[in-house]
Structure 1
Amino acid sequence: MSYKTILTVTGSGFGDGDLKLTAGLCEEVKAHFSVLVIALAAPPPIGSARNLSLAWLEEQEEDMRRVDARTAAVSVLLAGNTLSADVTSDYAEFGQGDEAIGRRARYADLTVLGPEVLAGATLKEKVIEGALFSSGKPLLLVPEGSSPTLKPKRVLVAWDSRIEASRAVRESLEMLIGAEDVRLVLVDPVQGEEYHGEEPGADAAAYLARHGVKLTIDRLPRMNRSVADALRQHAQDTATELMVMGAYGHSRLRERLFGGVTKSMLDKSSVPILMAR
């Protein structure tokens, strides 16, 4: 699909790097640039003395002042370019931060998670969960040192035949059509109707070919590597500019406790990744 509105999220403690990066992507595809400035309120103290409660209220007031100041600064930054843009702000309870981000992301075609927020912890997790679980829209993860583009020439599609991977392919279809080299990558594919079919990758390749996607099927052995490591190495070997993959084929709790491809990619990647579920 085409991206007509692109969202990024920032907070009072961040610089303008992610904003400028996302603005560049918006310019590339002539999209509207939407910015959400958000702060997460700490939960109120329980059973605390009155002076601690007052301190908590004062902290909330200071947080809101910081949000207002950051929103004003972002507005000035946006006014200095020719992009169609908007900025909104929110002061959300900590436990509702992902839902607040997800609500805003529903009105965008794509949410961009830039390297500044990605290097953090709390806001990073809220953006990931909000975009992937509360918006129904894809997330573009941009790690430090990478060069993101929405018109990539070389794309790696991590295909595992799950519904999440199918959704990611659909959300990136316009980019896949425009790419010169698309690698449909299957790691240790399993034959069978409930898995990859009798010829792993053939059905997905046929679907994409009907859309005019020029692709190659790469079936990779794990060779004592994790699936994530196999994908990362292949992305490096093929000079991939963008990886497309489904996110959280397993539950979030299972991924957190035992690890998984999504968690590994979120923690360590050298190329931008478009994720959907």
Structure 2
Amino acid sequence: MAYRRILLPLTGTAAGEAALHTAVMTARIWHSHVHCIHVRVDARDVAPLAGEGLSGAMIEEMMAATERESGDRASRVQALFNRFVDGKDVVLASSAEAAEKADAATLSFASVAGREEDLVAQESRLYDMAVVPHPDAGEDVSSSDALHAILFDSGRPVLIAPRMPPASIGTRVCCAWNGTAESAAAIAAALPWLHRAEAVRILYSRDYQRRGPDVKGILSYLRWHNITAEAVEFQPITREVGAGLLGAARDFNADLLCMGAYSHSRIRQLILGGVTRHVLENADMPVMMCR
């Protein structure tokens, strides 16, 4: 089992470029294909504002401005992709047959118009994993429509790239365990990484544990898969469970952290904070999440 198809919602930012590096690094490990997709804003989505008391001329002006801005953004994304392809030893492929002949990591790119959260969530159901850029510094992570759409509406794992391209990925893997269905799904999705890793550590905490099997149960599960892991208890840092989890992963020199996302509803998590939110905002390593 491996990750043969990877979807990357590409942005023209530094975080988007780091995500592209991370996706291609992952593809080289698994000899897989990365499909980069950029979703342009459809200016027609502005039309419903006509019911908000705006005149036809104002609506047309807003649609034209939206079209220009969307086109500029698409041009930046296309330019980033082209620079990456020109500067790297990568193979372009548009079909499974072409990718198979290449016998290497392959890339493709498409730019489409529509609602990003809808298109990305639907498309990612046909991929083994999605890679998304880390939220830019100062950006509210709750506004990352693509990330949340994939987590909540695709049934697929998401790999959140760090702000800077990692030196390695998947050699030393930490898995967060708290007994929930989400953490079980994350470990199941990460099994290919765990089989390949040089060292695996399960991180748990009494402050993180929820109703469900304890850490001994997940260690037994992994042994059935011929995976040897050690369990280490971590402590919250300044009462922040997420900070304690990240600190424990850094102490292990992990280059991949796997965890479940949003054990509670998204609304509750956004209001109260939570481990998922803290990790998304502060992780400096690749993080694989599943819900």
TM-score normalised to structure 2 length: 0.81
Contact 2:200/2:228, CA 8 A, preserved across alignment: yes
Aligned amino acid, residue 180 of structure 1: E
Match of 1:8 in 2: 8
Give 1:131 deviation, angstroms: 1.4
- Alpha-carbon distance in 1 for matches of 2:181, 2:33: 29
Q: Is 1:209–2:228 an aligned residue pair?
A: no
Give 1:8 deviation, angstroms: 0.9
Per the alignment, do residues 169 and 64 of structure 1 end up closer, same or farther by CA in structure 2, a change over 3 Å counting? same
Match of 2:23 in 1: 22
Contact 1:142/1:148, CA 8 A, preserved across alignment: no
Gap runs ≥5 in structure 2: 92-104
**1:127-166 map, 5 Å:** 127-145=146-164, 147=166, 149-150=168-169, 152-166=170-184
Gap runs ≥5 in structure 1: none
Match of 2:39 in 1: 38
**1:9-158 map, 5 Å:** 9-11=9-11, 16-41=17-42, 43-44=46-47, 45=49, 46-63=52-69, 65-66=71-72, 69=75, 73=79, 76=82, 80=86, 81-82=90-91, 83-93=105-115, 97-115=116-134, 118-119=136-137, 120=139, 125-145=144-164, 147=166, 149-150=168-169, 152-158=170-176
Q: CA RMSD in A?
A: 2.8
Aligned length: 268
Contact 2:40/2:112, CA 8 A, preserved across alignment: yes
Aligned amino acid, residue 160 of structure 1: N
- Alpha-carbon distance in 2 for matches of 1:213, 1:30: 22
The structure 2 residue matched to 1:186, chosen from 182, 188, 204, is 204
- Alpha-carbon distance in 2 for matches of 1:75, 1:221: 42
Give 1:160 deviation, angstroms: 0.5
Aligned amino acid, residue 221 of structure 2: Y
TM-score normalised to structure 1 length: 0.84
Give 1:269 deviation, angstroms: 1.0
The structure 1 residue matched to 2:232, chosen from 206, 218, 221, is 218
Contact 1:189/1:219, CA 8 A, preserved across alignment: no
Give 1:39 deviation, angstroms: 2.5
The structure 2 residue matched to 1:230, chosen from 244, 264, 279, is 244
- Alpha-carbon distance in 1 for matches of 2:208, 2:84: 49
Contact 1:158/1:184, CA 8 A, preserved across alignment: yes
| More divergent stretch after superposition (267-276 vs 47-56) | 47-56
Give 1:236 deviation, angstroms: 1.6
Contact 2:120/2:146, CA 8 A, preserved across alignment: yes
Per the alignment, do residues 72 and 244 of structure 1 end up closer, same or farther by CA in structure 2, a change over 3 Å counting? closer
Percent identity over paired residues: 23
Match of 2:97 in 1: none
Aligned amino acid, residue 10 of structure 2: T
Aligned amino acid, residue 195 of structure 1: G
